[in-house]
Amino acid sequence: DKGGWPSFMAKEVSEEPEAVANTLRGRIHDGVIRIPELDGLDELFLGIDRVIVIACGTAAYAGMVGKYALEQWTRLPVDVELAHEFRYRDPVIGASTLVVSISQSGETMDTLMAVKYAREQGAKTVSICNTQGATIPRESDAIVYTHAGPEVAVASTKAFVAQITALYLLALHVGRVRGTVSAATAEELARELESVPAKISRILETEQSRIEQFAHWMADTRSVLFLGRHVGYPIALEGALKLKELAYIHAEGFAAGELKHGPIALIEPGQPVFVIVPSPRESALLHAKVVSNIQEIRARGARVIVVAEEGDAAVLPFADEVLRIPLAGPMFEPLLAVVPLHIFAMGLSTAKGLDVDQPRNLAKSVTVE
Ligand code: BG6
C-alpha cells in the first residue's frame, strides 16, 4: 500500500526519518547505548583485531560510511569489500577477524556466500539486516536488526539510512566495550544521533519540492558526476548509483581528491556535478579542500550543485544550486547529505516518465550468484 504516495519509493523516502528513529529505538537510554542483541558478546568484541565489512550495492556504500565510524571509535583497522570480490579470492582472515555483513533483504546470495565462507575460515560474524528471520542473520554469530520497515521499491533508500545508523550504534558499542570511546563522548554522540530524524524531516519539508522542480529541469541530462571527501565520498557513490538505477543515465561518484588524477578531464562546459561539502565547523581543512575542488571544476565550466550545511556561505560564489542540510556532527552528515540525492534521483526518474519502483533489469533481492 503506497499510502497515498505516487510510488513506494516516494513513501519510503518520506519514511527516512522513522527508519533512523526506529533503528535507534530501545538502544539508547539517557545517552547510554545498549544493543540488547549484543549482550553477552563482549568477549567476541575484545578478541578481534580487525573488521571486514561485506555487502553489495547500496548496502556496500553504507558499509563504507561505517568504516569511518568503526575506525574512529574502535581504533580497529577496517576494510570494506564487495561480497562477491571477497568470496572469490583467498582473503586473509581468521578467528580474530570480525566480518560485518550488511543486507536489507538478508537473502542476497553474494553476501550469504561470503558470510558462510568467512565462518568456515573461523571469522566472527555480525549481520546488519532489515528482515527478521532472513537467511544471512541465521548464518551469523550476532544480528543487529535495522528497523526501517518493509522496503518495496527495488532501489534501497530508507534501508540505507537505517544501515548507516546501525553501523554507528555498532561502532559506538564496540568502542565502549574495547575502551576506545569514553562514556562522555559516547553520550554526546548518542544524543547527536537522536537529533538526526528531525533534521531529515526538515530537509524533506524545506528542500523536497525545490529538488523535484530542479530534477524536472534536468530531465534531458545525459551524465552527472558526484564528488565527496571523507564520509561524503560514499555518499557521492550512492548518489551516482541511484541515478543509474532510477534514471538510466551515466553517473559516477568520485573522491574529490582524486579529481586532478583523472576525472577532471571529464569536465566540460555545462557538465552537472554534485558536490557534498563537509561541515566548515567540524573540519576547516576538509571544507577548504572541497571548496578548492569546486573552484577547479567551476573554472572549467561545470554546473555545480552543492549539498552544504545551513549557513555555509563559502560555497555560494561558486555554486549554481545550493541544497541545504542542517548541522550534524562530522560523522553523521551522511544521514542528511544522502536525502537530497535520493530525492533528486527519484525526481529525475519521475520527470523522465520511468517506473521508479521497478527499474528495468533490476531485482529487489538477488538470490543467485
Ligand atoms: C540489489 C538491489 O540488487 O541488491 C539494491 O537492487 C541493493 O538496491 C542490493 O542495495 C543489496 O541488497 P541487500 O538486500 O543485500 O541489501
Residue type at 34 in one-letter notation:
R
- What is the predicted pLDDT for the residue at 229? 96
| Pairwise CA distance, residues 11 & 340, whole Å | 15
Q: How far apart are CA 2 and CA 9, in angstroms?
A: 9
What's the pLDDT at 234?
Answer: 98
Q: What is the pLDDT of residue 281?
A: 87
Low-confidence ranges of the chain (pLDDT < 70): none
Q: Is the complex ipTM more than 0.85? A: yes
262: exposed, middle or buried (Cβ count in 10 Å: 0-12, 13-18, 19+): exposed
Query: Among the atoms of ligand 1, which is closest to the Cα of residue 57?
Result: 10
* Ligand 1: lining residues by beta carbon, under 6 Å: 56-59, 103-105, 108, 111, 154-156, 362-363, 365-366
How many other C-beta atoms lie within 10 A of the C-beta of residue 108?
Answer: 29
pTM for this predicted structure: 0.97
- For the annotated catalytic residues, the residue numbers are 364
Ligand 1 pocket mutation pick from 8, 58, 161 by most atoms within 8 angstroms of CB: 58
CA of 239 to the centre of ligand 1 (A): 15
Strands of the sheet with 97-103, listed across from one edge: 78-82, 50-55, 97-103, 124-129, 142-145
The strand pair at 28-29 and 223-228 is best described as unpaired
Question: Whose grid coordinates read 523522465?
Answer: 352
Q: What is the rounded CA–CA span in Å between residue 40 and residue 108?
A: 28
Cell 576538509 sits on residue: 286
User: What's 81's DSSP letter?
Assistant: E
On the CB side of 285, CA atoms within 13 Å amount to: 2
Which residues does residue 223 pair with via DSSP β-bridges, in sequence order?
250
- The alpha carbon of 98 and the centre of ligand 1 are apart by a number of angstroms equal to 22
Q: Closest ligand 1 atom, CA of 163?
A: 16
Question: What pLDDT is stored for residue 330 in this prediction?
Answer: 79
End-to-end CA distance of the chain: 31
Name the residue of 104, 152, 167, 243 to mutate for ligand 1: max ligand atoms within 8 A of Cβ: 104
Distant-in-sequence, close-in-space partners of 224: CB < 8 Å, separation ≥ 6 = 240, 243, 249, 250, 251, 272, 273, 274
Q: Which residue minimizes the CA distance to atom 15 of ligand 1?
A: 103
Q: Which amino acid is at 17?
A: P
Ligand 1 atom nearest to 56, measured from its CA: 11
50-55 and 97-103 as β-strands: parallel, antiparallel, unpaired? parallel
Name the packing angle between helices 16-24 and 333-351 (round to 10°): 150
Distance of CA 197 to the CA centre of its chain: 15
pLDDT score, position 183? 97
Question: Closest ligand 1 atom, CA of 136?
Answer: 15
pLDDT value of residue 282: 80
Render pLDDT for 214-263 as a digit per residue (tens, 0 to 9). 999 999 999 999 999 999 999 999 999 999 999 999 999 999 999 999 99
- Residue 346 pLDDT: 97
Ligand 1: centre distance to CA 308 (Å): 28
In this structure, the residue with its CA closest to atom 9 of ligand 1 is 57
Closest residue by Cα to atom 8, ligand 1, is 155
Q: How far is the CA of 272 from the centre of ligand 1 (A)?
A: 27
Rounded distance from Cα 176 to ligand 1 centre (Å): 31
Q: How far is Cα 71 from Cα 53, in angstroms, rounded to an integer?
A: 12
30 contact partners, CB below 8 Å, separation of at least 6: none
Structure confidence at residue 61 (pLDDT): 98
Q: What is the pLDDT of residues 70-106, one digit of tens each?
A: 999 999 999 999 999 999 999 999 999 999 999 999 9
Number of alpha carbons in the 13 Å side-chain half-sphere of residue 187: 7
Identify whether the C-beta of residue 264 lies closer than 8 Å to the C-beta of residue 300: yes
d(CA 214, CA 324): 14
